[in-house]
Amino acid sequence: MARGKEVGAEAPGRPGGDGAGGAAVDAAGCAGEGEETRLRLLEAVVANAADAVVITDAKPFGDPGPGIVYVNEAFTRMTGYSAEEVMGRNPRFLQGPGTDRAVSARIRRGLERGETVRVELLNYKKDGTPFTVELIIAPVRGADGRVTHYTAIQRETTARREMEEALRRTNALLQAVVAASPVAIVVLDAAARIEAWNPAAERMFGWRAEEVLGRADPTVREDGAQASREIFERALGGEVVAGVETVRVKRDGTPVDVRTFTAPLERASGGGRRVVILLEDVTRRHRMEAALRESEALFRDTIDHAPLGMALVGMEGRIIHANRAAVELSGYSEEELRHLRFQQITHPDDVRADEAAFERLTAGEIESYQRRKRFIRKDGRAVWALVTRSMLRNSGGAPRYVITQIEDITERRAVEEGQRRLTAILEATTDLVGISDAGGRLVYLNHAWRKLSGVGEQDVSARMMTALHPAWAAEILVREGIPTAIREGSWTGETAVTLAGGGEIPVSQVVLAHRTPEGEVEFLSAVCRDISEGKRAEEWQRFLAEASRTISGSLQDGAILRQIPALLVPRLADYCIIDLVDDAGEVRREVVFDRDPARQALLEQTKRFPPTRDQPVGLGRVLRTGEPEVEQEITTAWLRAVSRSDEHQRLLQEIGPRSELIVPLRARGRIIGAITCAYTDSGRRYDQDDLVLGADLMERIALAIDNARLYDEVQRALRFRDEVLRVVAHDLRNPLHSIGLSAELLREMLPPGVLPSTHPDPLQIIRRSVERAGALIQDLLDVARMQAGKLQMAPRPTDAAGIVAEAVQLHAADAQQRGLALEVQVPDRLPAVRADRDRLLQVFSNVIGNALKFTPAGGRITISAQPEDGVVRFTVTDTGPGIARGGLLRLFEPFWQAPGAVGGAGLGLGIARGIVEAHGGRIWAESEEGVGTKVHFTLPVADAGAGPEERAPS
């Protein structure tokens, strides 16, 4: 027997001193031999009880609270803890994260009031396993009425709860099966009254369950009542009656052909029998059988009048029957064709292959085949046709005839030849060409694009057009490019395409929408041209213009030298050094610059080691030869070659250059110095292209430095010419500044045709970039106007259904790309609303875009609209993760974003609210975490009174 600490005794082994027995003895104060015997018996009962028994002292509640003084063996078996491990501990240590704290509080309140407490509580075993117990805790009082101990009896209920849960799940499953069954299920009691009536029965007959429960079956017609009663009696007697077809009646009197399955059903409690009836609606099958009989009668007429040529051919190849289209295609009469075999009207070059396929068909190797072949008409002219042959078998499965379908494809073949020639051209071009269907799924990529993106020819159809672009470029296409192309026919702009090995290149892109004769968009095509070199040259030209303006802004030597590092670091270098040669040929280290203060201090120390012109590499060589030098990877040998001493080498190794570019400063035919640019820990490296670009910049810097030197010399020699030199300085700055302005002006003034038509207009490129940045700027402006009450509106009657359709179309490609279903639920008659159409589209774009952003792949977004009292309510419903209540309250605040949101400025829904409220409507959201979110907004109907008038900013 597990022994606890004895209550009120020194020796655990003393008779009556263990566990509950000891507590009882002390509580009684003293007892006679009879009482001690009784207590020992009680102790034995407690120690060997199946329920766990715990006795604690009566210390005040709080921390640590009452401590355990006794537990029986059942407690050890239940929890895994031995008596020694729990002595003195408060029983709360058995509780864990899943324990209901309210139940714990209830136990404490009851015991503090001296009451017996009965609860169910979740505890944890020693190994961490949770288990549920039914717990009874009672206070033990001494002779004076004070509580001396608390006893707790615990019975584990985990198995019972699991069994109850399993039973609940089984019942729920059975109920779900019955509810989801497409077959009507009806249960009758022994008196033929309805006990159960599933949803399929409601749908089949029109009566709701509550209307028929307890009643006789209302679907039984009078003329079928006797037969129905007989079947019921047979089933009640234990017989299963299956496959009986009869006629029942719906609530509205409509007859229903049904097939019934009737069987006895025992009660689970062992009571009397019940009968279950399964009813299958066979009305449609009966109609189909009648229609089949009718279709058989029309079959021959259908064949004869089919627009596609059709013929019935015997197993030996003789034509048995040909329809009108086949007769017209061949030029023979039907009577003439019946005397011919198909080989006789096939082009000689195609006979052999056609016969081989026909033999495989008649031999049973294949069930059908399709091939292109040429027929020879009666007049001798050859026509191309797509021939489809399949085997027609009798009821026993034996081959009987070959059905041949013949489609004249002469014109189509000519078109395909033209397409093949076009494809050959597209495959040879260096431009990137792609074609997608109207939903954005690729159907073609030319060789140049497949090679660039690494997409195999067989993988093209599995990708979306937008997947070939980085995310920012895909967004431009989805939001601007494709909608504009669909609306206007084409769109041109700058995007980028993704490279096979990662990274991207900028491209000038044209998107074209191709329509059917009916005006529907059939497919989209995109043509992209690599403009990376142009962009790099353009960026470099802008940098040169900026550098020219910077270094030409002063004619003071010191000012120019201070400005040069800001131009070079960090754009072209991690640090830079400027060395100048004076009139005596001495080299002075004028400038060292690094943003890192520690490395700046090291660079300052290099002034102690001026270069010598006899150095084989590095600065000395550049000053000696006047040739620039690129050292892509600096090695220890290179550092040793440029070092003046070991100390100098150690200093250079501590500075840590990884790649260097040294360019001489040449002015008026002489070397006036050199600039050293170096990369350290940025990971960048110089190459020959940097050398070419750097030479142009250094030429300008050298000119500026030389001009500054000349200016300083003139200042020192001719002080009286100060005013004149200031004028000269002004005149030098203006032409340099005018060069930059004139370059852009010339682009505008160039007559048409001077630049190739395929070359992008640089100003147009800049303008497009500004337009894209303008979207965010416009959002910011809208927020500002909104907060100032100056948001412009031009409301007018607007087709609500049409605006919903347009909004869905604009987001269809994005939804498909994200793997989302986009649905519309709009009633047939929806009143017009009074709204600014463009602003309303902006609301839809912001709300739907937000739903697309947060709904995971495989989800659904539904856009619905319905008229209400004087307004139309629009709703966008998604199946995303939902929004917590705190987030729901802030959802329409500008700049607020949900936790974990990536991208965007958080303005979309705030702007949507401003636009809706400016129209006199309201916007709100409902959300359930794990289910999804609904965003509603209302707009006044066009005939519901004057809406908000157009507002102009004051």
Residue-by-residue DSSP string for 264-302: EEE-TTS--EEEEEEEEE-HHHHHHHHHHHHHHHHHHHH
Tell me the pLDDT tens digit for each residue of 184-225.
999 999 899 999 999 999 999 999 999 999 999 999 999 999
Write out the H or E segment, with its range, that includes residue 723.
helix 722-749
Query: How far apart, in whole angstroms, are the C-alpha atoms of residue 334 and residue 843?
Result: 66
Which tokens in the block code for residue 672? 């006036």
CA distances from 656 to 394, 602, 603, 617, 679 (A): 89, 10, 11, 17, 9
Most confident region among 575-579, 735-739, 742-746, 897-901 by mean pLDDT: 575-579
Determine the pLDDT at residue 85: 92
Mean pLDDT of 55-76: 90
Determine the pLDDT at residue 398: 83
Output phi, psi for 458, to 5 deg.
-75, -15
Angle between helical axes of 19-28 and 33-47 (0-180°, round to 10): 150
Handedness of CA 295, 299, 305, 310 (dihedral sign): positive
Query: How far apart, in whole angstroms, are the C-alpha atoms of residue 920 and residue 246?
Result: 61
Between 128 and 901, the more confident residue is 128
Q: Is the pLDDT of residue 889 over 60?
A: yes
CA distances from 560 to 251, 540, 582, 588, 733 (A): 98, 20, 17, 16, 14
Mean pLDDT of 610-626: 87
Size of the chain in residues: 954
Query: How far apart, in whole angstroms, are the C-alpha atoms of residue 521 and residue 44?
Result: 90
Determine the pLDDT at residue 547: 67
| 140 — pLDDT class (breaks 50, 70, 90) | very high
Write out the H or E segment, with its range, that includes residue 909.
helix 908-918
Report the candidate in 204, 207, 232, 227 with the shortest Cα–Cα distance to residue 218.
207
Report the candidate in 493, 434, 488 with the shortest Cα–Cα distance to residue 461.
434
Determine the pLDDT at residue 394: 76
> 438-452, 546-560, 684-698: which has the minimum mean pLDDT?
546-560
| 775 — pLDDT class (breaks 50, 70, 90) | very low
- With a pLDDT cut of 90, the percent of the chain lying above it is 34
Rg (CA), the chain: 46
| 561 — pLDDT class (breaks 50, 70, 90) | confident
Strands 821-825 and 860-867, bridge-based pairing: parallel
Mean pLDDT of 229-234: 92
Determine the pLDDT at residue 926: 92
Q: Is the pLDDT of residue 135 over 60?
A: yes
| 903 — pLDDT class (breaks 50, 70, 90) | low
Determine the pLDDT at residue 297: 64
> Is 317 within 8 Å of 297 (Cβ atoms)?
no
Query: How far apart, in whole angstroms, are the C-alpha atoms of residue 617 and residue 105?
Result: 84
Q: Is the bond into 570 cis (omega within 30 degrees of 0)?
A: yes
814 three-state secondary structure? helix
CA distances from 417 to 413, 421, 424 (A): 6, 6, 11
Determine the pLDDT at residue 27: 38
Angle between helical axes of 557-568 and 532-551 (0-180°, round to 10): 160
> 415-419, 648-652, 850-854: which has the minimum mean pLDDT?
415-419
Q: Is the pLDDT of residue 14 over 50?
A: no
Query: How far apart, in whole angstroms, are the C-alpha atoms of residue 370 and residue 420?
Result: 21
Count of other CB atoms within 10 angstroms of residue 320:
12
Mean pLDDT of 497-520: 89
> Is 507 within 8 Å of 530 (Cβ atoms)?
yes
Burial of 458 (0-12, 13-18, 19+ CB in 10 A): exposed
Determine the pLDDT at residue 670: 84
Determine the pLDDT at residue 513: 92
Q: Is the pLDDT of residue 749 over 90?
A: no
Q: Is the pLDDT of residue 341 over 80?
A: yes
| 22 — pLDDT class (breaks 50, 70, 90) | very low
Mean pLDDT of 844-858: 88
Mean pLDDT of 834-842: 89
> Is 432 within 8 Å of 446 (Cβ atoms)?
yes
Tell me the pLDDT tens digit for each residue of 157-175.
877 777 777 778 877 777 7
Mean pLDDT of 618-631: 89
Mean pLDDT of 98-115: 89
Q: Is the pLDDT of residue 773 over 70?
A: no
Q: Is the pLDDT of residue 908 over 80?
A: no
- Show the DSSP H helices in 606-670 as ranges: 619-625, 636-642, 646-655
Query: How far apart, in whole angstroms, are the C-alpha atoms of residue 927 and residue 884?
Result: 8
Between 672 and 765, the more confident residue is 672
Mean pLDDT of 499-513: 88
The conformation of residue 60, written as its DSSP 8-state character, comes to P
Cα–Cα–Cα angle for 307, 309, 310, rounded to 5 degrees: 115
Determine the pLDDT at residue 537: 65
Query: How far apart, in whole angstroms, are the C-alpha atoms of residue 342 and residue 181?
Result: 53
Contacts of 728 (CB under 8 A, 6+ apart): none
Q: DSSP secondary structure string, 562-615?
A: HHHHHHHTTTT-SEEEEEEE-TTS-EEEEEEEESSHHHHHHHHHGGGS---TT-
> Is 319 within 8 Å of 403 (Cβ atoms)?
no
Query: How far apart, in whole angstroms, are the C-alpha atoms of residue 925 and residue 930?
Result: 15
Count of other CB atoms within 10 angstroms of residue 850:
22
Tell me the pLDDT tens digit for each residue of 914-937.
889 888 999 999 988 889 999 999
Determine the pLDDT at residue 863: 94
Half-sphere exposure of 926 (CA within 13 A, CB side): 6
The conformation of residue 950, written as its DSSP 8-state character, comes to P
Q: How far is CA 285 from the centre of its chain?
A: 44
| 558 — pLDDT class (breaks 50, 70, 90) | low
Burial of 155 (0-12, 13-18, 19+ CB in 10 A): middle
User: What is the average pLDDT score of the chain?
Assistant: 81
Most confident region among 368-382, 453-467, 747-761 by mean pLDDT: 368-382
Handedness of CA 439, 442, 445, 450 (dihedral sign): positive
Determine the pLDDT at residue 743: 43
- With a pLDDT cut of 70, the percent of the chain lying above it is 81
> Is 80 within 8 Å of 130 (Cβ atoms)?
no
Q: Report the 3 state secondary structure along 338-393.
A: CCCEHHHHECHHHHHHHHHHHHHHHCCCCCEEEEEEEEECCCCCEEEEEEEEEEEE
Query: How far apart, in whole angstroms, are the C-alpha atoms of residue 665 and residue 673?
Result: 5
Cα–Cα–Cα angle for 236, 239, 241, rounded to 5 degrees: 105
The conformation of residue 606, written as its DSSP 8-state character, comes to G
Tell me the pLDDT tens digit for each residue of 781-827.
566 566 556 677 888 999 999 999 998 998 888 899 899 999 999 99
> Is 609 within 8 Å of 648 (Cβ atoms)?
yes
| 760 — pLDDT class (breaks 50, 70, 90) | low
Handedness of CA 335, 340, 343, 349 (dihedral sign): negative
| 554 — pLDDT class (breaks 50, 70, 90) | low
Q: Any bridge partners for residue 664, and if so which?
A: 674
Determine the pLDDT at residue 788: 57
Q: Is the pLDDT of residue 675 over 80?
A: yes
